[in-house]
Amino acid sequence: MSQQIQYPEGGQKITVGSDGRLQVPDNPIIGYVEGDGIGPDINRACMRIWDAAVEKAYGGRRKIHWAELFMGEKAAALYDGDYFPDETKAALRDVLISIKGPLTTPVGGGFRSLNVSLRQELDLYACVRPVRHYAGVPSPLQRPEDIDVVIFRENTEDVYAGIEYQAGSADNEKVARFLREEMGEEFFDGAGLGVKPISPFGTKRLVRKAIEYAIEHDRESVTLVHKGNIMKYTEGAFRTWGYEVAREEFPDRTITEEELYATYGGKRPEGKIVIKDRIADIMFQLMLLRPNEFDVLATMNLNGDYLSDAIAAEVGGVGIAPGANMSDNVAVFEATHGTAPKYANQDKVNPGSLLFSGVMLLEHIGWSEAADLIRAAYEKVVGAGIVTYDFARSLQGATEVKTSQFADALIDQMHGTIDIDRIQREREEAIEAERQAREQRRVVAPLEEMVASGRVPHTVADLMNPNLVTMSGDTSVEDAMHLMRERRISSVVVQPAPDEAEGMGIMTQRDVISRVVSATKQPSQVRISEAATRPLITVPEDTSLLDCAERMGAENIRRMVVIDTQGRPIGIISDTDIFASVEQFGLPE
């Protein structure tokens, strides 16, 4: 066997004690695989951050001794075309804990996925992917903080098992003949064929791990995700065996959702984990609409692959979501995204996914002080708008930095050598300056444009501000205040919450002051529907400015929401807008 791997001097191996727990020395040897594509860029950056956090947390008493292990393109170059050498497999088992970057897999042919091979060869049966939101990270959701789930994805079975027969091959014909002649199945000629094995053994060990995690981390529920209505004997069986393991092995710690309502009136008894199940397609919708109903998710391989990328998108994208592949002793932590080849060697991408996989690793070996330092520094740095290109795309006032510069900022923050509050202040000032410039353009420039073109504003649509924010009535006043401050707006349109019969309303800064602050209520405890003014006073987009001014006077209000012909809110017009127009053009006709 070719020998390329060298364990660093001064390091000691992690072992498993007689109680089954990891024995971690202060100088553990931990394996790392750099990965292909963007792998080297993110790995270089993350190693500096992990090392700095460990040094800072333990004052030099603890130190990781990294051992480079080889997979993918780097391995092929060193081991004569072998992408996953035996030496690496042996070392991954030997050091017990490793972390890896992404690896290239060719589509539709070529060699088998190295990631899948790794999971199967080492029997790393649980792919654990926590997804939560970090303050300051841009998200398409109104309340991304509601997302805090841990996905346990089965890692060795399902259509990923690699039991596939290529169309036109002799094996394919043999299997097709068997299925048609012996089993009476019908399908089109020339079909590629794949097998989807789901076993009670594979299912139960995965669901067992998910329930153990839920118990250990004081989580409320474990949801079995499946498409058992269609694939009854694979996905349906996953559901059946999942409930079985809960009932047989954790009878004192689990109840089913059915029991929750039938026996406990919907109120979860202290210390019990609720086991429930959802069909996979609706699960994607639920994770967008009501994510706070979910906690730990147990899925089969393919559903978990899809679902983990989709949920990651809700909290900032695959650039930030971490993961780990685990057996009972061996664990290989890994970024959940791929090799993003178009960005390779550009020092450009977000190191967050690998970084937080390392944070999981630090927690796994019990070094949570170092993990906490990274999390705290991350929130500060991203909160100050220092981000890589992916977050910069949707973050107002962002300072876009390279992968290595992002690592520098995190390390400086941990060392206290960066004035993050000043950067944050400057960012807020820049956002404010941008807002004022926008306002200037909105109120003055359109009028100037109109003067130049000889047009005169007639209707509210000519003058309205289309920058309108609508929020659901069950949003807390605190969350709405954050958004109003961030967007520099003085009101939000309030849509009825699902449990409300009333129509739309508006909540202004003045409402917050008079109905929440002066009433000494906690903004976090009050829903915006309680602070809003109803009904919403609207004005159709083709209303003349004079009519609008008259209505404002009659209703004694300073702004009105403009609606289109379908009754949808499309903008807001204020007395300031009409004032500016009259000052410029005189009284409208």
Ligand X SMILES: O=C(O)CCC(=O)C(=O)O
Q: Known catalytic residues?
A: 160, 227, 281, 305
The secondary element (H helix, E strand) that includes residue 538 is: strand 538-540
Q: Is 499 annotated as a binding residue?
A: no
Q: How far is the CB of 353 from ligand NDP (least distance, A)?
A: 6
Give the tokens for residue 471: 């929020």
Q: What is the Cβ-side half-sphere exposure of residue 462, based on CA atoms within 13 angstroms?
A: 21
- 350 binding partner (options Mg ion, ligand X, ligand NDP, none; Cβ < 5 to 8 Å by kind): ligand NDP
Residues 277-336 that bind ligand NDP (CB under 6 A): 318-319, 334
CA–CA gap between residue 427 and residue 313 (Å, rounded): 25
Q: Is 264 annotated as a binding residue?
A: no
Q: Which residue has the tokens 């994607």?
A: 284
Helix (H, G, I), strand (E, B) or coil at 394: coil
Residues 105-124 that bind ligand X (CB under 6 A): 105, 113, 115-116
Helix (H, G, I), strand (E, B) or coil at 12: strand
CA–CA gap between residue 331 and residue 51 (Å, rounded): 20
Q: Which residue has the tokens 């609606």?
A: 563
Q: How far is the CB of 211 from ligand NDP (least distance, A)?
A: 26
Q: How far is the CB of 130 from Mg ion (least distance, A)?
A: 15
Report strand pairing: 491-495 vs 505-508: antiparallel
Nearer to ligand NDP, 314 or 334 (CB): 334
Letters for 344-363 (x = contact with ligand NDP by CB under 6 A, - = none) are -----xx--x----------
Helix (H, G, I), strand (E, B) or coil at 151: strand
Q: Is 338 annotated as a binding residue?
A: yes
User: Of 277, 347, 390, 408, which one interacts with ligand NDP (CB under 6 A)?
Assistant: 390
- 390 binding partner (options Mg ion, ligand X, ligand NDP, none; Cβ < 5 to 8 Å by kind): ligand NDP
Q: Is 113 annotated as a binding residue?
A: yes
Residues 55-84 that bind ligand X (CB under 6 A): none
Nearer to ligand NDP, 33 or 532 (CB): 33
Residues 277-336 that bind ligand X (CB under 6 A): 305, 336
Q: Is the dihedral of CA 359, 360, 361, 362 positive or negative?
A: positive
User: Of 11, 28, 102, 138, which one interacts with ligand NDP (CB under 6 A)?
Assistant: 102
Q: How far is the CB of 121 from ligand NDP (least distance, A)?
A: 15
Q: Is 340 annotated as a binding residue?
A: yes
Letters for 277-316 (x = contact with Mg ion by CB under 5 A, - = none) are ----------------------------x-----------
Q: How far is the CB of 162 from ligand NDP (least distance, A)?
A: 14
Give the tokens for residue 542: 């083709």
Q: Is 119 annotated as a binding residue?
A: yes
User: Is residue 36 part of the contact set for ligand X (CB under 6 A)?
Assistant: no
CB atoms near residue 62 (< 10 Å): 18
CA–CA gap between residue 393 and residue 32 (Å, rounded): 31
- 472 binding partner (options ligand X, ligand NDP, Mg ion, none; Cβ < 5 to 8 Å by kind): none
Give the tokens for residue 470: 């609508």
What is the DSSP secondary structure assignment for residue 475, as one 8-state letter?
Answer: S
Helix (H, G, I), strand (E, B) or coil at 571: strand
- 116 binding partner (options Mg ion, ligand NDP, ligand X, none; Cβ < 5 to 8 Å by kind): ligand X
For residue 355, give Cα distances in angstroms to 16, 59, 121, 321, 323.
25, 21, 25, 9, 10
Q: Is 341 annotated as a binding residue?
A: yes
Q: How far is the CB of 319 from ligand NDP (least distance, A)?
A: 3
CB atoms near residue 441 (< 10 Å): 12
425 Cβ neighbours under 8 A, 6+ residues apart: none
Instruction: Choose the stretch contacting ligand NDP; rule: CB under 6 A; options: 4-12, 13-21, 155-163, 338-346.
Output: 338-346
Q: Which residues pair with 16 in a beta bridge?
A: 22
User: Of 340, 360, 401, 573, which one interacts with ligand NDP (CB under 6 A)?
Assistant: 340
> How many residues form the binding site for ligand NDP (CB under 6 A)?
17
For the CA atoms of 345, 350, 353, 357, what is the dihedral angle to 10 degrees?
70
- Using Cβ positions, the residue closest to ligand NDP within the complex turns out to be 338
Task: For 443-455, give one letter per residue: b (16+ CB within 10 A) or e.
Answer: beebbeebeeeee
Q: Is 256 annotated as a binding residue?
A: no
Nearer to Mg ion, 301 or 508 (CB): 301
- 465 binding partner (options Mg ion, ligand NDP, ligand X, none; Cβ < 5 to 8 Å by kind): none
Q: How far is the CB of 551 from ligand NDP (least distance, A)?
A: 46
Q: How far is the CB of 172 from ligand X (least distance, A)?
A: 23
Give the tokens for residue 262: 């039938």
Q: How far is the CB of 523 from ligand X (least distance, A)?
A: 40
Nearer to ligand NDP, 116 or 161 (CB): 116
Closest CA to 149 of 131, 126, 127: 131
DSSP-derived secondary structure for 491-557: EEEEEPPTT--S--EEEEHHHIIIIIITTT--GGGSBHHHH-BSSPPEEETT-BHHHHHHHHHHHT-
Q: Is 229 annotated as a binding residue?
A: no
For residue 215, give Cα distances in angstroms to 209, 211, 246, 272, 327.
10, 6, 12, 8, 18
Nearer to ligand NDP, 357 or 491 (CB): 357
> How many residues form the binding site for ligand X (CB under 6 A)?
6
Nearer to ligand X, 338 or 523 (CB): 338
Amino acid code (one letter) for 174: K
Q: Is 459 annotated as a binding residue?
A: no
Closest CA to 68 of 41, 87, 82, 49: 87
Do the Cβ atoms of 431 and 438 come closer than 8 Å?
A: no
Q: Which residues pair with 65 in a beta bridge?
A: 29
Q: Is 261 annotated as a binding residue?
A: no
List the beta strands (DSSP E) in 155-300.
164-165, 193-194, 221-226, 254-256, 273-279, 296-299
Letters for 5-44 (x = contact with ligand NDP by CB under 6 A, - = none) are ---------------------------------x------
CA–CA gap between residue 464 and residue 559 (Å, rounded): 10
Q: List binding-site positions.
A: 104, 113, 115, 119, 129, 153, 305, 337-343, 350, 389, 393
Which positions touch Mg ion (CB under 5 A)? 305
Residues in touch with ligand NDP (CB under 6 A): 38, 102-105, 115, 318-319, 334, 337-340, 349-350, 353, 390
Where is the binding site for NADP(+), in residues? 104, 337-343, 350, 389, 393
